[in-house]
Amino acid sequence: MTESPAIPLPPPKARRRLREAASLTPAQLAARVGVTRETVRAWETGRMTPRGRKRETYAKLLARLAQEAQRTGEAVVWSPPERPTPTAPSKPEREQAREQQEPKAETKTEAETETETETKTEAEAETEAEAEAETGMASEPEPEPGPAPGPAPQSEPPHEPVPSPPALTPAQAFDALYAFCAPALVRQAYLLTGRRELARDAVERAFQLAWERWPEVARDRDPAGWVRAAAYEAALSPWHRFRLRPRRPEPPAADADGRVLLDALLKLPPSRRRTLVLYDGVGLGLPETAAETEATTPAAANRLLSAREAVAARLPELADPAVLHRRLAELASTARLRASEAPTVRTGGERRARFWTRAAIAFTAALIGTTALTLRTAPTQYEPPVPVGEAVRGVPARVAPGPLSDEELSLRDKLRQELQDGPERLVPQTR
């Protein structure tokens, strides 16, 4: 009898897919075949080819996994070819088999050589795997080996997913951003404007604008910087000069140095004042300050130096940047500034948006009505205008009637006495 042909092995990628389809880890598969986990990884990546009895065991296991995958209705990764039916060998085949069985020593030597080669290859694979683990360049991270499997293949229980924290709603995310940035922004806006009410209004307007464009602000890399830039723009807007000031004047700073420093800040141009507050007050770097003020880095540096010189001219003790930073923080903190609540700002922004939306709708409706009325009452054809009357010159003046003469009187009497129908008809007479 001839030996049955060896079971073919699937490609390396199909080997790994069959193992994953059966929910087996490399350690479990290695325990079934009788090799190490690194050897299984080498077989699945194609760096090694199994030989000898372990090849047969590995091939049978993969064929069984493929049949189970086909039975459960999963996607067919690889199907083992059908094995041919063995037939009785003829006489010449028997003689050839007998000749092949004679040199038993050589066959044994070949089997031992294959076993030694396999052992050596497995040791090389283990050495390569250890080197990859040390250098951190392993192709795929493998899980830790689990407990030894039983005789029947059993899938591992799925790991329970770790519950993720619930996502914040847009309103909650906005409230968190407002609570984090609003108090500091009110103090910074006070240094820019010198007016508490205007500083609060500028910050509220900036956050209302952020709430209107919340999808854009939420995806921004620096939402706090976005709101800060909007608050500074609202605080330094030139239209505030036409705004009616509150009836009650705001109290000045508590100490004299604070009043002098605030007065020196307000006398600076808006661009230099903003650069000084961002760099020495907030603590931004020069490139970030230049980017937020929409200027180049050299221009921002020149503005900063000019602003420091102007402040140092009024207060020489503030020539040191560290002292200036401390005095700006003290001035902003002693102003007793309080920001409104986040829900109030959100509702105010929504109410403002509704008002302007309704105003736009009303204006559009009025414009449409006016246009329709004009089209209804407008003439459909051209009518030339009536020219203005003019005085006719060169006509003699009308003479009034005067007294009648004797002839005119006799003629009038004669005309009145005669018949109006005309003279009588003449009748011919016979002779």
Range in 73-77, 105-109, 306-310 the model is least confident about: 105-109
**Residue 31 shares a structural domain with residue 176:** no
Q: 137 in a domain, yes or no?
A: no
Taking only the tens place, the pLDDT of each residue in 141-185 is 444 444 444 444 444 445 555 555 667 788 889 889 998 888 889
Q: Tell me 283's DSSP state.
A: -
Q: Which domain holds residue 328?
A: 170-239+252-342
Q: Tell whether the model's pLDDT for residue 247 goes beyond 80.
A: no
What CATH code is carried by the domain that includes residue 199?
Answer: 1.20.140.160
3-state secondary structure 166-214: CCCCHHHHHHHHHHHHHHHHHHHHHHHHCCHHHHHHHHHHHHHHHHHCH
**Residue 116 shares a structural domain with residue 184:** no
Q: Which of 342, 376, 392 is the last residue of a domain?
A: 342
**Residue 178 shares a structural domain with residue 58:** no
**Residue 115 shares a structural domain with residue 260:** no
Taking alpha carbons only, the member of 239, 231, 175, 240 closest to residue 202 is 231
What CATH code is carried by the domain that includes residue 49?
Answer: 1.10.260
**Residue 182 shares a structural domain with residue 63:** no
**Residue 181 shares a structural domain with residue 325:** yes
Q: Which of 312, 342, 372 is the last residue of a domain?
A: 342
Long-range contacts, 25-30 (Cβ 8 Å, 24+): 25/142, 25/143, 25/145, 25/146, 25/156, 26/142, 27/142, 27/143, 27/144, 27/145, 27/146, 28/145, 28/146, 28/149, 29/61
- In sequence order, which residues have a C-beta less than 8 Å from that of residue 275 and are 6 or more positions away? 289, 293, 295, 300, 303, 304, 307
Q: Tell whether the model's pLDDT for residue 303 goes beyond 90.
A: yes
Q: Which amino acid is at 247?
A: R
**pTM of the full structure:** 0.49
Q: 69 in a domain, yes or no?
A: yes
How far apart, in whole angstroms, are the C-alpha atoms of residue 224 and residue 183? 12
pLDDT confidence band for 81 (50 / 70 / 90): low
**Who has greater pLDDT, 317 or 5?**
317
- Give me the mean pLDDT over the 254-277 stretch: 87
Q: Which of 279, 310, 342 is the last residue of a domain?
A: 342
Q: 76 in a domain, yes or no?
A: yes
Taking only the tens place, the pLDDT of each residue in 12-69 is 878 888 887 877 888 888 888 888 888 888 888 888 888 888 888 888 888 888 888 7
For the chain, the domain total comes to 2
Q: 28 in a domain, yes or no?
A: yes
How far apart, in whole angstroms, are the C-alpha atoms of residue 281 and residue 296? 20
Q: Tell whether the model's pLDDT for residue 86 goes beyond 50.
A: no
Q: 404 in a domain, yes or no?
A: no
**Residue 264 shares a structural domain with residue 195:** yes
Q: 190 in a domain, yes or no?
A: yes
